[in-house]
Amino acid sequence: MSRRRAEAAAPTGAAAMRTSGGSSSRREFLTNAAVAGIATLAAQEAAGQEPPAEPSSTKLPPQPPAGRVPICAISSDNGLAATRRAYELIASGVDPLDAVIAGVNLIEDDPEDITVGLGGLPNEEGVVELDAAVMHGPTHRAGAVAALQGIRNPSRVARLVLRETDHVLLVGAGALKFALANGFQEENLLTEKSRKIWLHWKQTLSDQDDWLPPPAAEVDPDVAKFFGRPTGTIHCAGINAAGDISCVTSTSGLAFKLPGRVGDSPIVGAGLYVDNQIGSCGSTGRGEANLQNLSSFAAVELMRGGLAPREAGLTILRRVVEHTEPRLLDQQGRPTFNLQLYLLGKDGTHAGVAIWGPARYCVTDAQGTRHEPSATLYERRS
Ligand code: GLY
């Protein structure tokens, strides 16, 4: 068996030593903990007390019959082409992880999408820094890169971290070295369009610096559309007929961020999460709000407890609102930012949810490729 296949199947050799701890003291600790647990249960029974309920993490909702799950791919609003590609590949037998990454590569390669890959909006110094993560349901393995410069497909580098290393997350210069060692080509990801948007942001940021705002009549209309600080991202998840789920999240992150800022996208449990027996969740929007709530992990856990994707997502968004600090709330106590989640259940049911609407997400299934409305907590009036 090749090293790659062996690692995907189970940790072996040195990897097994690392994951098991490889020491008798750790084994003793686990044994002692188990004995202590049994002793506590025995004491509770002897005292006539009910033992605590089984932790919900060990229970599973009813599982769909294998081979009978409707194939489907879902994504954030900017991923119609990604879901179409992912669906076609899954339907032709490709593993859902490779299928959703191939779909997202279309968006990463598209210079018109200024939130992902080539042409993504840069950090405050004008340098594009990308974050991405991938997660494979059947093996529960994940790979991610953060603050990666010069490589247009961070999702492919993240897959290599998953496949070729014993790590989950590589960042910055280390992630770039890893990508170059694996044959990726370095390039300038700042397109003319994203450079002009960044320059306009600098010119209009403050009247206390030496940049003068350009006369309004001279502002390129293509640039004027993007005033503000977009937090776009792509998330894409796919499920095959066997019910195997995988997903990917890829982004250039918060526009004009501090160099080195890492958002939610490459953080497993925040930007994405899969439990192959339950479902998946991924996010777009204000990464900091998600990082403080690990929304994707939390939503999948609510699905484990029996909530449908839509209800699980809305419950987590309400929690995010409750946890939001006052400086980020409007006068009605509503967040001044958006956060969106995309949820896919083990039975192929799916939902998009957003703090602010109108919002929508993309779906490709046997009925075709389309946008569907996301459920929202609040609606903006246009
Ligand atoms: N959700 C993308 C980011 O905040 O970086």
CATH of the domain at 148: 3.60.20.30
Kindly state whether residue 22 falls inside one of the protein's structural domains. no
The angle, 0 to 180 degrees and rounded to 10, between the axes of the packed helices 309-322 and 295-304 is 140
pLDDT at 372 over 90: yes
pLDDT at 44 over 60: no
Alpha helices in the chain (DSSP H): 3-9, 13-20, 24-46, 80-91, 96-108, 154-164, 172-181, 192-204, 221-224, 287-291, 295-304, 309-322
Domain residues for the domain of 131 are 72-191+225-379
Looking at residue 221, its pLDDT comes to 77
CA–CA separation, 168 and 321 (whole Å): 29
**Percentage of the chain exceeding pLDDT 70:** 81
Q: Is 348 in the pocket of ligand 1 (CB under 6 A)?
A: no
CA–CA separation, 161 and 64 (whole Å): 31
Mean per-residue pLDDT for 151-173? 98
Kindly state whether residue 20 falls inside one of the protein's structural domains. no
Active site (annotated) includes residue 233: yes
Alpha-carbon torsion 187, 283, 143, 2, what sign?
negative
CA–CA separation, 28 and 38 (whole Å): 15
Looking at residue 60, its pLDDT comes to 66
Indicate the number of domains in the chain: 1
Kindly state whether residue 119 falls inside one of the protein's structural domains. yes
Kindly state whether residue 276 falls inside one of the protein's structural domains. yes
The active-site residue out of 115, 233, 249, 376 is 233
pLDDT at 34 over 90: no
320 C-alpha to ligand 1 centroid (Å): 15
Q: Is 254 in the pocket of ligand 1 (CB under 6 A)?
A: yes
Kindly state whether residue 64 falls inside one of the protein's structural domains. no
Kindly state whether residue 216 falls inside one of the protein's structural domains. no
CA–CA separation, 127 and 190 (whole Å): 7
CA–CA separation, 355 and 351 (whole Å): 14
Bridge partners (DSSP) listed for residue 170: 145
Kindly state whether residue 17 falls inside one of the protein's structural domains. no
Looking at residue 214, its pLDDT comes to 84
Decide if 343 contacts 245 (C-beta within 8 A): no
374 C-alpha to ligand 1 centroid (Å): 19
Looking at residue 381, its pLDDT comes to 72
Kindly state whether residue 155 falls inside one of the protein's structural domains. yes
Torsion, Cα 78 83 84 86, to 10 degrees, reads 140
pLDDT at 187 over 90: yes
Q: Is 282 in the pocket of ligand 1 (CB under 6 A)?
A: no
Looking at residue 65, its pLDDT comes to 67
